[in-house]
Amino acid sequence: MAKQSSFFRSVSRLYPHIKPVLPRLIMGLLSALLASVVALTIPQVLRVLINDSLRPGATAGAVWGSAGLILALGVAEAVLVALRRTFVINPATTVETRMRVSLYGHLQDLPVAFHDRWGSGQLLSRAMTDLNFIRRWMAFGAIMLVVTTLTVVIGVVVMFTMSWQLALIFLAAAGPVMVYGFRFRTRFSKVTRRSQDQAGDLATTVEESVHGIRVLKAFGRSREALETFNGQAEELRQTEIAKARHQAVFSMVVTLLPELALGTGLVTGILLAAGGHLSIGSLVAFFATAAVIAAPVEFSGMLLAMALTAKTALDRHFEVMDSQNTITSPAEPRRPADVKGALSFHNVTFAFDDAPDKPVLKDVRLDICPGETMALVGITGSGKSALLQLVPRLYDVTAGSITLDGVDLREFSVQELRALVAVAFEDTTLFSSSVRDNVLLGVRAGDADTREEILAEALDTAQAHFAYSLPEGLDTLIGEEGLSLSGGQRQRLALARAIAARPSVLVLDDPLSALDVNTEELVENRLREVLAGTTTLIVAHRPSTVALADRVALLEDGRIAAVGTHTELLAGNSHYRYVIASLETEPRDLDSELSALDDTEEVSQ
Ligand SMILES: Nc1ncnc2c1ncn2[C@@H]1O[C@H](COP(=O)(O)OP(=O)(O)OP(=O)(O)O)[C@@H](O)[C@H]1O
């Protein structure tokens, strides 16, 4: 994941984002720069005050004039600092928000294969912490880094004009600081990257354990979870300590060396002044200037650390933004005038990205007629869910093709295809919004009345009438992932959501698995009416679900082993009988069923 690039290359990628707000950022930078120039001017006024206004015979008015000027410069510096804040805060928050929105948009676009690989905490920390840091750096760190560098350069030039001997002493101290700064940069970059990645992993652990709190509690694994978390938190703590240690040593170097130079310079300055080579005013002004630039020099450790952390945050942000969306719409999408729903798999092979040489689907050939309901049956891990996910293009086929009414799915616009295909997964995700919004998620058009009709019909078909009795009826907010609902209730809402979309193709992954036998029968009876006109691919883990289908496809180790009606397969395929027997919740008497078949059909293997 970690990819090293130069600081300037990483930061230059911010340019398109800051371009619209560049004028304000430049105004902020100029204000800060002016504040520094003003601060550097004060010692010069002091020099004139000491050399001219305080010399014997000078008037009191001249002293007042210089003092007034110093006061005015102090006020101007304070105003300019305030102006810097005013100029930069708005653009920095604007850039942060825009980058966050574009990251979120990109995450929505990226294929499921990307989300399989990335921990949610890593994405969360990039969307929140990293972008927050980039904002703070833009508003403060970056500007102060430029201003500090320029202040030091201008300050040193001014010091040279006053006394080249003293200035050389200060410059001598700068050499080791720069060398050390370079080494610090390399080490600090590595440790910063580690700390940000570890923080992301920690966020993933929190997210997973909050999400899986019931499982952890039920299995009494809370203590172990805590220990794992503690281990990760400790690793992060160690990294943070290493980070702070690097920073502390660097700060010590950049504080100590200028202080040493100051001491040496003071002795040399007094000797120069005593020898008449330097005026008292210049000596005072020199050290006042040294004091003005001492603060930015001491500050530089923190500013450099901020810059490196921001660089890492930018690298982490662009790692996600650079991930390509491989599932895209063609330049000129096709759409049959009237979608009938003939779904065909032509020699489809599919492998997940992390195991490219182990295809989970091999040479799948399957034709589902318009309006037909095809059940997919197979032992666990045979590739049923993988096959379903290819239909709405959550993944793309590795080889072969899938067509809808003869048109390759990749020739449709992705949005259009997903409007034509509705899905209900076994793992029913509901969003933190009302029942109404959850069920109408896939309903794109229609006025309020039509939408209400669709909603009522879908809830009725899915036997989800319980929704009306929730505390606020259909407006009841259901918690994250519908946690406040039972498994069967969630499943019925997910089924209602798929039905409400009124798709041309319905893809159902064992949609009734969490229902009790009575509710299942009620849902099946109503579902039969819906399925009658819709092409449906349904993964069946229960014989009762198989009964909904016109035909059944048997999947065996990623291949279609047989296709036929339930009766045909039961009669003619031993693996099918084995699978069906293993699906039975209550043992069925297959022998008697078979002997009944014997009377009417010819049994062929
Ligand atoms: N996201 C993924 N990345 C890599 N491999 C995966 C992924 N999802 C599933 N697999 C693997 O693909 C194979 C087929 O899985 P799939 O979920 O399609 O099986 P299934 O027939 O639906 O099983 P079940 O009946 O248990 O739901 C399995 O070996 C599984 O480990």
For residue 73, pLDDT over 80 is answered with: yes
- In this structure, are 277 and 214 located in the same domain? yes
Task: State mean pLDDT over 205-210.
Answer: 84
**Separation of 402 CA from ligand 1 center, angstroms?**
19
**Separation of 352 CA from ligand 1 center, angstroms?**
9
- In this structure, are 54 and 109 located in the same domain? yes
| SS3 of residue 318 by DSSP | helix
Rounded to a whole number of angstroms, the distance between the first and last alpha carbons of the chain is 52
Long-range contacts of 545-551 (CB under 8 A, 24+ apart): 545/375, 545/510, 545/511, 545/512, 546/375, 546/377, 546/580, 546/583, 548/373, 548/375, 548/524, 549/373, 549/374, 549/375, 550/372, 550/373, 550/374, 551/372, 551/373, 551/374, 551/375
> Domain for residue 497, yes or no?
no
**Separation of 385 CA from ligand 1 center, angstroms?**
7
- In this structure, are 182 and 275 located in the same domain? yes
ipTM, two decimals, is 0.95
- In this structure, are 348 and 231 located in the same domain? no
Give the atom of ligand 1 at the shortest distance from the alpha carbon of 386. Answer: 18
**Residue 380, ligand 1, Cβ within 6 A:** yes
pLDDT > 90 fraction of the chain, expressed in percent and rounded: 29
**Separation of 111 CA from ligand 1 center, angstroms?**
17
Q: State which residues form the domain around 215.
A: 21-321
Confidence of residue 585 (pLDDT cuts 50, 70, 90): low
Confidence of residue 491 (pLDDT cuts 50, 70, 90): confident
- In this structure, are 262 and 376 located in the same domain? no
- In this structure, are 51 and 108 located in the same domain? yes
Pocket test for ligand 1, best of 112, 348, 352 (most atoms within 8 A of CB): 352
Which range is least confidently modeled, 19-33, 353-367, 469-483, 581-595? Answer: 581-595
> Domain for residue 526, yes or no?
yes
Confidence of residue 200 (pLDDT cuts 50, 70, 90): confident
pTM of structure: 0.73
Which range is least confidently modeled, 64-68, 69-73, 487-491, 514-518? Answer: 514-518
Q: Answer for the pair 377, 555: CB distance below 8 angstroms, yes or no.
A: yes
Residue nearest to atom 6 of ligand 1 (CA): 352
pLDDT digits (tens, 9 = 90+) for 562-571: 999 998 988 8
Which residues, 6 or more positions from 232, have their beta carbon under 8 angstroms from its beta carbon? 198, 201, 202, 205
pLDDT of residue 586: 44
**Report for 38-47, 320-329, 476-485: range of highest mean pLDDT:** 320-329
For residue 448, pLDDT over 60 is answered with: yes
Distance CA 359, CA 463 (A): 38
Residue nearest to atom 17 of ligand 1 (CA): 385
**Separation of 226 CA from ligand 1 center, angstroms?**
30
**Residue 354, ligand 1, Cβ within 6 A:** yes
Q: Which residue has the higher pLDDT, 163 or 519?
A: 163
Residue nearest to atom 7 of ligand 1 (CA): 352
Confidence of residue 97 (pLDDT cuts 50, 70, 90): very high
CATH number at residue 545: 3.40.50.300
- Total tally of structural domains belonging to the chain: 2
Residue nearest to atom 8 of ligand 1 (CA): 386
Residue nearest to atom 14 of ligand 1 (CA): 383
The rounded mean pLDDT for the chain is 85
Confidence of residue 314 (pLDDT cuts 50, 70, 90): very high
Residue in the block written with tokens 């580690």: 194
Tell me how far the alpha carbon of residue 479 is from its chain's centroid.
22
CATH number at residue 185: 1.20.1560.10
Tokens coding 93: 């928050």
> Domain for residue 16, yes or no?
no
Task: State mean pLDDT over 578-603.
Answer: 54
pLDDT of residue 412: 92
- In this structure, are 199 and 314 located in the same domain? yes
Task: State mean pLDDT over 179-186.
Answer: 78
For residue 361, pLDDT over 60 is answered with: yes
pLDDT of residue 593: 45
Given 287, 321, 355, the domain boundary residue is 321
Q: Answer for the pair 314, 10: CB distance below 8 angstroms, yes or no.
A: yes
- In this structure, are 69 and 164 located in the same domain? yes
Q: Which residues pair with 404 in a beta bridge?
A: 343, 407
**Separation of 49 CA from ligand 1 center, angstroms?**
83
**Residue 116, ligand 1, Cβ within 6 A:** yes
Q: Which residue has the higher pLDDT, 99 or 179?
A: 99
> Domain for residue 246, yes or no?
yes
pLDDT of residue 563: 93
- Length of the chain counted residue by residue: 605
- In this structure, are 77 and 193 located in the same domain? yes
For residue 605, pLDDT over 70 is answered with: no
> Domain for residue 465, yes or no?
no
- In this structure, are 197 and 295 located in the same domain? yes
**Residue 352, ligand 1, Cβ within 6 A:** yes
Which residues, 6 or more positions from 355, have their beta carbon under 8 angstroms from its beta carbon? none
